[in-house]
């Protein structure tokens, strides 16, 4: 740990390791016995202290002030929502979702920076998670500002204006973005020019928010739903990728298993995604 440290108590489901590997964020990582999270120009190291419940409840040490924890990181981790209670809403007869929720307990839906989330999920198309992480990290290292974090430095995610100045060819060749390069460039330009207002977008309904981001070249409904869920906390929204499509087809015979959870549908989508991908939860 570095800089100042405080102890915080997390009363609800919370597992930083599962969050890091949940597929919703691509720069979170394990680091020297801690977990590192980055949002905008803030960097957090968090480490468990003492014994914890199986769902991650317990005491943690963090390298920030109490004010920063309460006003930046607690909202980032969606700590105002009762995930333990949400998990209990699974009907007894839904054995797959019960297993998925048990496996995924500790995962929370992050409230990430909208621009980084937009670019990250544009890059995510037809890439696996390690490849996405590599591309996002490369963008940060090449074009992001450097921030001192105690014993070293870290690259922040590039600002829209910085990415808008990079040619499509450079994004394609130097950053390995391939056909996604014009999409990343278009997103950066639209945000830097105010054609996409990331702050005003927060006031839109779920449906309008999803439509709004599809104005960006290369952003389809799946990526737009990811932005809505993982940047704006629209937990009723369910992104459907190949893993979730398999869950729907193989476990539910093509019937939507998420709609009955209404405003928490996106949370159960994340449990199902994690279970299917990390624990081999799908039928063989």
Instruction: Kindly report, residue by residue over 51-88, the tens digit of the pLDDT.
Output: 777 777 889 999 999 999 999 999 999 999 999 999 99
- Residue 283, pLDDT > 70, answer no
Q: Length of the chain in residues, anyone?
A: 284
How many CB atoms neighbour CB 182 within 10 A?
A: 14
Same domain? For 85 and 146 the reply is: no
Helix (H) or strand (E) run with residue 254 in it: none
Look at residue 116 in the predicted model and tell me its pLDDT.
98
- For residue range 92-150, list pLDDT tens digits in order: 999 999 999 999 999 999 999 999 999 999 999 888 899 999 999 999 999 999 987 76
Same domain? For 87 and 149 the reply is: no
CATH code assigned at 74: 3.30.310.260
Same domain? For 89 and 120 the reply is: no
CATH code assigned at 211: 1.10.340.30
What is the tally of structural domains in the chain? 2
62: phi then psi, degrees, rounded to nearest 5:
-130, 155
Same domain? For 151 and 44 the reply is: no
- The answer as to whether 106 is a domain residue is no
Task: Classify residue 178 by its DSSP letter.
Answer: G
How many CB atoms neighbour CB 224 within 10 A?
A: 22
Look at residue 149 in the predicted model and tell me its pLDDT.
74
Same domain? For 123 and 209 the reply is: yes
- The answer as to whether 240 is a domain residue is no
Look at residue 56 in the predicted model and tell me its pLDDT.
76
How many CB atoms neighbour CB 27 within 10 A?
A: 21
Look at residue 242 in the predicted model and tell me its pLDDT.
92
- What is the domain range of residue 166? 114-232
**Rg of the chain (C-alpha set):** 19
Same domain? For 126 and 196 the reply is: yes
The answer to pTM > 0.75 is yes
Portion of the chain with pLDDT greater than 90, in percent: 85
190: phi then psi, degrees, rounded to nearest 5:
-65, -40
What whole-number distance in Å separates Cα of residue 183 and Cα of residue 185? 5
Per-residue pLDDT, averaged over 148-175, amounts to 89
- The answer as to whether 211 is a domain residue is yes
């Amino acid at each position: 740990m570095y800089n100042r440290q405080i102890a915080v108590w997390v009363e609800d489901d919370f597992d930083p390791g599962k969050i890091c590997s949940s597929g919703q964020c691509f720069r979170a990582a394990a680091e020297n016995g801690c977990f590192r999270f980055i949002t905008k120009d803030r960097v957090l190291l968090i480490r468990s202290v003492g014994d914890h419940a199986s769902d991650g409840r317990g005491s943690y040490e963090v390298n920030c002030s109490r004010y920063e924890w309460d006003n930046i990181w607690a909202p980032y981790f969606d700590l105002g929502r009762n995930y333990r209670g949400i998990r209990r809403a699974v009907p007894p007869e839904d054995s797959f979702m019960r297993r998925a929720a048990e496996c995924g307990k500790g995962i929370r839906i992050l409230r990430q920076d909208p621009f980084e989330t937009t670019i990250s999920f544009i890059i995510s198309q037809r890439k696996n998670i390690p490849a996405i992480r590599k591309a996002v990290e490369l963008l940060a290292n090449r074009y992001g500002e450097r921030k001192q974090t105690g014993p070293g430095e870290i690259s922040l995610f590039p600002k829209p204006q910085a990415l808008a100045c990079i040619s499509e060819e450079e994004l394609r060749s130097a950053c390995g973005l391939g056909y996604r390069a014009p999409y990343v460039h278009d997103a950066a330009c639209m945000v830097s020019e105010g054609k996409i207002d990331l702050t005003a977008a927060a006031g839109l309904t779920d449906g309008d928010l999803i439509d709004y981001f599809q104005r960006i070249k290369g952003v389809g409904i799946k990526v737009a739903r990811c932005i809505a869920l993982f940047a704006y906390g629209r937990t009723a929204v369910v992104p459907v990728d190949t893993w979730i499509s398999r869950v729907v087809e193989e476990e539910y015979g093509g019937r939507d298993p998420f709609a009955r959870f209404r405003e928490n549908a996106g949370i159960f989508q994340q449990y199902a995604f994690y279970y299917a991908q990390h624990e081999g939860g799908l039928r063989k």
